[in-house]
Structure formats: C-alpha cells, structure tokens
Structure 1
Amino acid sequence: MTDVKHMKWWGWGLEGVGFHFEDKPAFVPFVQKAVGLDVRTPPVPPLSFDELTVAPPRLSPAFEAELVSIVGEENAFTDDKTRVVHTYGKSIRDLLRIRRNEIARVPDIVVYPGDEHAVQQIVDAAVAAGAVLIPFGGGSNIAGSLEPLADEERTIVSLDLGRLDRVLDIDEGSGLARIQAGAQGPSIEEQLNARGWTMGHFPDSFTHSTVGGWVATRSSGMQSDKYGDIADIARGLRMVRPGTVVELRPLPSTSTGPSVREMIIGSEGRLGVITEVTVQVHRQPAVREVQAYFFPNWKAGLAAMHAISESDAAPSITRVSDARESGFSLSTRKESKGISGAAQNVLMSVLKRRGWDLEQMCLSFIGFEGSASHVAYEKKLVGAIVKKHGGLGVGKGPGALYDQKKFDTPYLRDFLLDRGAAADVSETAAPWSKLQAVYDDTVAAAQAAYAALGVHGWIMCHLSHSYNSGACLYFTFAFVHGDDPIAQYEVVKSSIQQAFMTHGGTLSHHHGVGVEHAPWMAQDISEGGVALMQGLFDAADPTSQFNPGKVLGPRQLTASDVAAIVADAPR
C-alpha cells in the first residue's frame, strides 16, 4: 500500500477536519442575512462510500500486468475508492456530483511511479496501448482539470506523482531548487526551511497541492507581489513525453525562439507529465509580518492598492476586501472578551465618530518581509498611502490571525453543502483602469442570476495579486440551492465569467482552465489564439491521449449564449 495521503473523497482536506461556528457568535446572523440560511439546521452528511455507483475498470489483463510490472503491486490500484479519489478535483461542481452519486467515468487504474524512469515507462506503455493518461498531483483543482471525459471509451490511467516528493538539490549560489513534481506545499517548505530557504509560493490550496500541479495550472500564491506567480518562480523543468524527456535548464533568461517553458506552464497535462521543476528560492526573511488596515469604502481601498503598486514599497501581500467580504471575515472571528473585546468596541466608536458607515468599511491585509530596517521603511511608505486614502492601521494582531487561518476557507464549502447551500469562487485579472467596472458588472451579473433563479444569493470580493498594470479580483458566491443545484450553479457561474469577459478581464487569473473555464477561451485569447493552441495540442498529441478535453474543451460560448443560459434558468 502506498504511503501517499489524499484528501477525503467527498470534500476538502483530511478526515476529521472541518469548519465549526459554535465559537463564532456573529456567524449565524451573518449567513442568515447573506443567503437566508439558518446554519443551526442539522446537517445532511454526504453519502456513504458504499452507496456510490462505480463502474468496473475497463482494463485488459495484459495492460494491467504491464503497469504493475513497472510500479509494483503495492503501487497500482483498481479498487473503487482509489479510483473515485482520482476522478474529480474539488470544485463545487465536483463536490455536488460526488454527493449526488453522479460519476460518469472514473479512471480504470491508478499508478504511483517512484521515479522519472517509471513515469517514462508508464507513458510509453499507455501510448502504445492506446490508453488515456491523466497526471494527478494533490487533487485540489477547482476548474475541472482532472476529470475524465464522460464518453471516454479508452482505458484511463491516473498517474499519481505523490511518491515523487523530494527537494532534490539546492544551488545555493543561484537560489535555485530542484523539486520533484509530486511534492506538496507543506513538504516543500519544510525541506527548504530546514536549510534556510523558502519558495514563497502559498496558494489557497497550499496544504494539498503540488509543485507540478502549480506549474500545470499556472498557479499564483498569496505572496505573489514579492515572489511572483509560478510562471516567474519556475525557472526550469523536466516533462516526460512518448519516448523522450523535455529538459529545460534553469537559465535566467534566453532568446531561443518561442518559449517552450511557457508552452508547458498552464498546459494541464495536455503535453506530457511534469516530473521535476527547478524553482527560484529565497533566503528566509529576518522579519515577516502582516498588518491590518481599515478603509472607509471599497473605492478608497482600491485606490490605495493602486497607489502602493506605483510606489517604492514592495509588500509581499496587498489585499483588500469589499464591504461584503469584510463583513464575512468579521463574522468568522471568535468572541472577543476582556481587553481585546473592549478595544474593538472603542475602535468601532472612533470610526463612527469619524463619519464612517461601518456597513461600507473594508478590511485590508498587507504583508512585509525583509530586514527589520527594510520592513520599517516599507511600513512607513504604506502607512502614508493608507492615510492619504482615508484608511486606518489597526496593527498586526488581525494580520497574524489571517496568517494562521489563510488555508482554512475551503472547509466552509463542505459545511454549507451539508446544509443545502452552494458556495464557490471565480477570479480574474484586469488593468487598474477597468477593475471598478469589472467589479460592478460582476456583482450586478451575479445578482441578476440570483433573481432569475429566484434564490437569495451572496457575492463578495477581494483584490489581491497586484501588478504594475492591474490586479486580481477574487469573487466568492453562495446561495441556497434547489433540486437541481448544478444547473443553478451553471447560471451563476456563467454570468460571473461573462462579466469578466465583457469588461476586459481574463477568464482565470490562477485557477487554470480545465473544462469549467474552457468555454470562454475564444473570448479571452481570440479565435486565432484558440486555433494556434489547438494546433500545438494536435501536433504534440495527435491521438489525444494526454488529459483530453482540458483547456480548450468542446464548445466556446458567446455573451448571447450566456444570456440564454440565464433566461432558461431553473427556478
């Protein structure tokens, strides 16, 4: 039996870990107001695994024997649970389908190679057998990048990289680390930190995602303002293809034609199996802290983040939540007593006396890293910008709490699903000049979708991942669903995605494309761009055996298509 650990088959994270509201007195009234749900309602747990309908594997004895000979009997699985674990990622659509026993197609066998040579053997055997290969990292993807096509009749092999989990080498003179593709976030940082280094890449999925998955989906982390997105961090890589290995050396810059590295980053397994990534690493900072700030409204917070991006300050995190998300964040605090509770009451009284509408107040977190003098200098610069835009610093206490809880939010989706509510996220990036329009239209589009569905819904947003020319807007939406939750979700999700397109945003800033976002690719990169990308996939994989259907998908949507989806919404 392999030692690779996986998330629970029906939800996020590990068994026994979940969201609890009993110590958060503001949470119950907040959710009641936001989506009309009383969270004290007894939960309806997911099905037991024995209630699932799982089709038997479509696998010839000869091909199975060949794969077993490569990885060993202890690393090849055809049992139902292992196959189901490797069927979906963790999008709300994935979680709804698994809870409703809607499993159209599962992998036929799951294999865990122990080194690159075994990966090469698996790839070559699968291609020769006419099988489909789907690389699997941590299983955290929320864009449909892992699921087999429902009508796939060929044998499907899920190639789990979980045994390839080591930091192989650190070039300390260059700040470069070679890391096997199956290494997950906590393991990577533990191995790097032991030698005084950090990768600095902390996506929401950090605790259950891999460096190979980050590269394959073009991930971004919470500290990307300082360390860059994964496309900036990944300097070299190795990728197994039929009969060969693509090896890209970690050079600082090259002028060698179209970038093969860029072709692979974000390719979601369509071009081959990533086995190793060489990443830029940094010495651990002497000082690291996250400061909290309040702004009187979203417009002021947005302007402040823009000003910080243009300043000499270079924080590791620049994040501001709109009033709705700020209200949510405050609702998830534990009850404050004694001096802490009194201080919060005094602060709110001071803001009221200043004329603030507390219903419009926006919470911001800004991170600082480096030497003590550097951090002090940047805090001074940022403090002046915050003050200029009417904001107020409230210290590092709330920031420390944010830092501790930053990976816990996904557990809330399972909590809400147990109570008949669906919650999910969509994120985009756009130029600074277009962000307000993207924000306004997206909120309006979601509210129109809720009206079409006849449901009480909620949408909230934060700005993160700032660049010189623009920033990421990250939306979270939720509603109490009816008897056809996936169809209702499609209405809301499509409306939000189309709003991104209408005002010049991108279909996804860091969650990848998969099948969820593929319908908007032509609007995002143009029909000519889609044709060019399709040509790449066709040339690299003419028999469509590497994770088919991802990124481009079978159908492109137009704005009128989305309008029709909303008009036909189930009520």
Structure 2
Amino acid sequence: MTDVVHQKWWGWGVEGVAFNPDDKPGFAPFVHDVLGIDVSGPAGSPPAFEELDVPASRLPDDLGGSLRRIVGDHHITTDDMDRVVHTYGKGLRDLVRVRAGDLPRLPDVVVYPANEAEVQQIVDQVVAADGVLIPFGGGSNISGSLTPQAGEDRPVVSLDLGRLNRVLEIDSDAGLARVQAGGLGPDLEAQLTEQGWTMGHQPDSFKHSTLGGWIATRSSGMQSDKYGDIADITRGMRVVLPGKVVELRPLPSTSTGPSVREMILGSEGRLGVITEAWVHVHRLPENREVIAYLFPNWAAGIAAMQEISVSDATPSITRVSDANETAFSLATRKESKGLSSKVGEGLFELLRRRGWDLNKVCISYIGYEGGSAKVRADKSEVGRIVGRHGGIKLGKGPGSMYDQKKFDTPYLRDFLLDRGALGDVSETATPWSRLGEVYVATVRAARKAFAELDVQGFIMCHLSHSYHSGACLYFTFAFPPREDSPQLEQYDVVKSAIQQSFIDHGGTLSHHHGVGTDHAPWMEQDISPAGVDLMVGLLQSADPGRHLNPGTLLPPDREW
C-alpha cells in the first residue's frame, strides 16, 4: 500500500499529537469563565472506528480494473478507513458528522497516481465511466470542498496526489520553482531549503496541506505581507482536464485576454486537476525575527497596522489580536517561573499604574526578514509607528513563542469537541474604511446568535494580513450547544450570522478558506447574480458532464 501519510479520521493532525492544557495553568479557568465548561474533568472521545457503519464501496468492476492497471495494486484501495479519511475535510461540520458516523456517501475508491500521465489516464477513465472525481491533497479543507454529494449515484473516485511531492526544478535567475502539486508544506520547504530557497507560504494548515490545495482554495499564509497570497506566488500551472492538459507558462505578466490562471486559482477541483505549478521562491533571508508589541486597545492596534501598510517598512507579518484573543493567548501560556515571570508581572503592574485598562490590551506580532540593515530600518520605522499609537515593545521572547505555536491552534477544535463545545473560524477581507464596522457588527451578530440559542458563547478576532487597501479579519468562535437541539442546527445559527454580517457590512465571504459548500449560499451576494452567471457558464463549458467535484462553489439552485 502507498506510504502517503494521512491525518486522523476523526480530527486534526496525526495520531499522538493533540492540544495539552496540563502545562497551561490559566487555560482551564479561562474556558470556564467564557464558555462555562469544566475542561479539567473527564473528557469524551471519538468513537472507535469499528463502531462506524461504513457503506460498502460501489466501485464497478470494470472501472476498478482500469484504475488498477494505471497505478498498480499497491496504489489503489477500497479500504473503509481510507475511504472515510477521504470523505471529509477538517471543518467543524466535517468533524461533528464523521464522529457521529454520518456517512451518507463515501468515495468508492482512493487512487494514488505517481505522475501527471497517470492522472490524465485516471481522469479519462472516470469520465468515460460517467463517474465523479474529487482531487485530494492534505485533507485540511474546512469549507466542505471534499465531500461527495449525498445523492450521488455515480461511482466516486478520490484522487490523492500525495505521491506527487517533489520540487522538480528551480530557475534561479527568475526566482521560480517548478513543484508538484501534492507536496505538503514542510516537505516542499525542506527541499527548497536544501538549495537555499523558500516559498515563504505558511498557512495555519501548513503541516497538513499541499501546494495544489493552496492553489485550489486561494490560500493565504502568515507571511503574506512579504511573500504574497498563493495567487501572487503562483505564476504557471499544469492542469489535467478530460483528454487534455492546460499549460500556463510562468510569465511575469501578460495581456492575453481574461486570465485562465485566475480562473483556476480558487476553482476547488471544478476546472481540472492541478498537477504542478511554477511558484515564486526567494533566497533564504539573512535574518528573521518576530517581535511582540502591546497596544492599549484594539482601535490603536488597527490604526498602527494601517499606517505600517503604507509606510516604508516592509514586514513579513503584521498581526494584532483583539482583547478577547489577547486574553486567550495569555491563558494558553505555559507556566512561567523565575525572573521572566516577575518581569511580566511587573510590566502589567506598571501599565496599570499608567492608566491602561488591562482588559482591553491587544497583543501584536510583527515579523522582519532580510539583511541586517533592512531589518534594523524596518524595526525602527515600525517602532516609531507603534509608539505614535500608544503601543510598547514586548520583545523577541513573546515573538518566538508565537513562531513556535503558530500551527497549533487547529488542535483546539478537537479538544473542545471532546468536552462538548463547538469551535470554528470565519475570516473575511474588507477595505480599511469598513474594517471597524465589519468587526463591531460581526461581534454583535455572533453575540446576538448566542443569545437567541440561549448558550454561553465566545468570539475573538485578529487582523492577520495587511494590504494597501484593507486587511483580513480572522474570527474564532466557540459555544457549548444545548442538548435539546441538533448541534449543527445551532452551529448554523452562529456561523450564518457571522457570514451574513461580512456581506452586509462590506466584507467578502472568505479571505482564504475558499467556498466549498459551506460558503456557497453567499456567492450571489458576494460576486453578484451576474457574476455567478459567468461562473455557471464557465463550469458548464469546462465540465458539461459534472464529473469534476460537482457541488462546490455554487449554491444548489444555481449549480446547473
């Protein structure tokens, strides 16, 4: 069998890795205060896999035989575990359903091609058999882009690209690398680092997501202020369609009509299977630092981020958390003893004496990369801006902690589920002129939804990426659902309130998590009915038989 490693069938990451509250003394009191649940007591756990009622594969013998001839017996499977792993992503809805054994439609087979030629043959065989093909990368999607449609009666094939995981070549003069689409973030960066390069793309899902998945969902990373979103990084692509391959050369800019490259970015498997891409790469920076700052309030932090975005400074990270997220971050710190603990206590006491309201303080992280002179100049300019907005520098210590923990947050979703609480995220982008309005309205909408459900809920936010005209706001929310109503119905009340607030106040339905099925209901409000008409026409033209991941991107009433 293939040696491609997958995440847990029931949660985030690989077996044996989980959120551990034992060395974080402030965490349990914090969760009890904001959610009213006791996380120190015994926790629930996912069911044993053997308890699931897994529907049998419906793979036709002739299609199965054709696929085996293409990839060989060791790279095709109808095993129940593999099929369940490839049924859902890792969103809240996915995890609730899979833990409950809700498996109305699974892929009938999982296939692991070794190269583009095999991908082409698989696509052609699936289409010839009137089947459905769903590309699969790391399985980290959280917007419902991986799950077969419940009423689908055609054979469903999950095409796992995990064996296409190599950096194929580097054009050092152009700063471009040709990379296979199935490589996970750490593996690709390790290959690039060996040759002195980096792509610089680090989404929260970095350890468990792939280049193809980033492109298919228009991913953004923590260092996008410097390196750009994946739409900026990706210059050329190869995309397999039935009977043909779209080849887009890695040109710096073109004037060749509507951009096919832009059509494929964010297409979530609807316009073909991405097999490789040319991406921007950069020489490894001489220096890299993340510095933490503290602002007296959210408004001051936002104003500073906006000023930094139009200044001469070019940091790699500009992030600021609101008061709620700052309190959460402080609650998840490991126990501190000795001098560092006393210094922290002394600083907060000093700020209290200066008149700071410690319930409103907001922590910020700014990243710096480059030569010594550049980093020094950037830090100096940012320091002046922070000071003008009443902020203070905390230093490298807290900044290095951010760097160490930056990929750990998704594990909290599983931790809360085991203790009867639902936790999820929604993110948006909006112009600077609307950012305050979007933030206030969304927090208000979430709290109103909590009140309607009669639950104790919590919402927090951070600004994660800055642009010339605006920024991304990333919200995290959690609540313990009532036992007298289905969990996902209650979740939908909160999630819908947040999403509708984005649209009503000038934001987009998603900044970097894609559309899938979860966000499709807001597509017409986001890009206009006429915009959806254009998308419908594009999908009907490229895939008239609805063989390529049907059901994502568009609301059901507009799908066909």
TM-score by length of 1: 0.97
Deviations 1:176-219 (A, max 9, x none): 00000000000010000001000000000000000000000000
Corresponding residue for residue 511 of structure 1: 513
- Matches of 1:553 and 1:135 in 2, distance apart? 20
Amino acid at match of 1:132: V
Secondary structure (helix, strand or coil) at the match of 1:274 reads strand
How many Å separate the matches in 1 of 2:531 and 2:273?
24
Which one-letter code corresponds to 1:88 in the other structure? Answer: Y
Distance 2:149 2:160 in 1: 18
Note if 1:312 corresponds to 2:344: no
Task: Give the counterpart of 2:526 among 513, 524, 527.
Answer: 524
Deviation at 1:482, TM superposition (A): 2.7
Query: How many Å separate the matches in 1 of 2:15 and 2:250?
Result: 39
Give the gaps of 5 or more residues in structure 1. Answer: 557-571
| 3-state SS in 2 of match to 1:103 | coil
Structure 1 counterpart SS, 2:528: helix
Runs of 4+ in 1 over 3 A off after TM superposition: none
Aligned residue for 1:543? 545
SS at match of 1:276: strand
1:13–1:208 contact (8 Å) kept in structure 2: yes
Shift of 1:422: 0.6
Give the alignment of 1:3-402 within 5 angstroms.
3-402=3-402
Is the Cα contact below 8 Å between 1:179 and 1:276 reproduced in 2?
A: yes
The AA in structure 2 aligned to 1:451 is: A
Separation in 2, partners of 1:180, 1:264: 16
User: How many pairs are equivalent?
Assistant: 556
CA shift for structure 1 position 54: 1.1
- 2:487 maps to 485
Post-superposition CA distance 1:51-94 (Å, at most 9, x none): 11111111111110000110001000001100000000000000
Residue of structure 2 equivalent to 1:502: 504
Q: Distance in 2 between matches of 1:480 and 1:186?
A: 34
Aligned residue identity for 2:545: T
Instruction: Give unpaired runs (5+ residues) of structure 2.
Output: none
In structure 1, the residue corresponding to 2:556 is in which secondary structure?
coil
> Aligned partners of 1:218 and 1:458: how far apart in 2?
28
Residues in 2 aligned to 1:350 and 1:251: alpha-carbon distance in whole angstroms: 55
Deviations 1:98-152 (A, max 9, x none): 1111111100000000000000000000000000000000000000010100111
1:553 positional shift: 2.7
State the match for 2:465 in structure 1. Answer: 465
Matches of 1:106 and 1:326 in 2, distance apart? 40
Secondary structure at the aligned position of 2:465 is classed as strand
| TM-score, normalisation: structure 2 | 0.99
Give the partner amino acid of 2:523.
Answer: M
C-alpha displacement of 1:318: 0.3
1: CA distance, partners of 2:151 / 2:449: 30
- Taking the aligned partners of 1:294 and 1:547, their CA distance within structure 2 comes to 45
Which digits, 9 at most, give the CA deviation of each residue in 1:507-559, with x for residues without a partner? 00000000000000000000000010010001100110100010113158xxx
Opposite residue 289 of structure 1, the aligned amino acid is E
Question: Contact between 1:237 and 1:277, CA under 8 Å: does it hold in 2?
Answer: yes
Tell me which amino acid in the other structure corresponds to 1:456: Q
The CA deviation at 1:47 is: 0.6
Equivalent residue, structure 1, for 2:556? 554
Contact 1:319 1:463 in 2 (8 A): yes
| AA partner of residue 85 (structure 1) | V
Inter-partner Cα distance in structure 2 for 1:415 and 1:386: 36
C-alpha distance in 2 between matches for 1:139 and 1:427: 19
Paired residue secondary structure (1:300): helix
Aligned-CA RMSD value: 0.7
Tell me how far 1:41 sits from its aligned partner.
2.1
Post-superposition Cα deviations, 1:217-270, rounded to whole Å, max 9, x if no partner, equal 000000000000000000000000011100000000000000000000000000
Query: The residue matched to 1:394 in structure 2 has which SS?
Result: strand
Counterpart code for 2:24: K
Task: Give the CA deviation at 1:487.
Answer: 0.6
- For residues 354 and 247 of structure 1, the distance between their equivalents in structure 2, rounded to whole angstroms, comes to 61
Q: Is the 8 A contact 1:420 1:480 kept in 2?
A: yes
Q: One-letter code of the match for 2:537?
A: G
Separation in structure 1 between the aligned mates of residue 492 and residue 405 of structure 2, nearest angstrom: 30
Q: Amino acid of the residue matched to residue 120 of structure 1? A: Q
Does the 8 A contact of 1:519 with 1:555 survive in 2? no
Query: Which amino acid is 1:226 matched to?
Result: K
Distance in 2 between the 1:107 and 1:197 partners? Answer: 38
What is the alpha-carbon distance in structure 2 between the residues aligned to residue 398 and residue 85 of structure 1? 36
> Residue 435 of structure 2 aligns with which residue?
435
Distance in structure 2 (CA, Å) of the matches to 1:553 and 1:268:
14
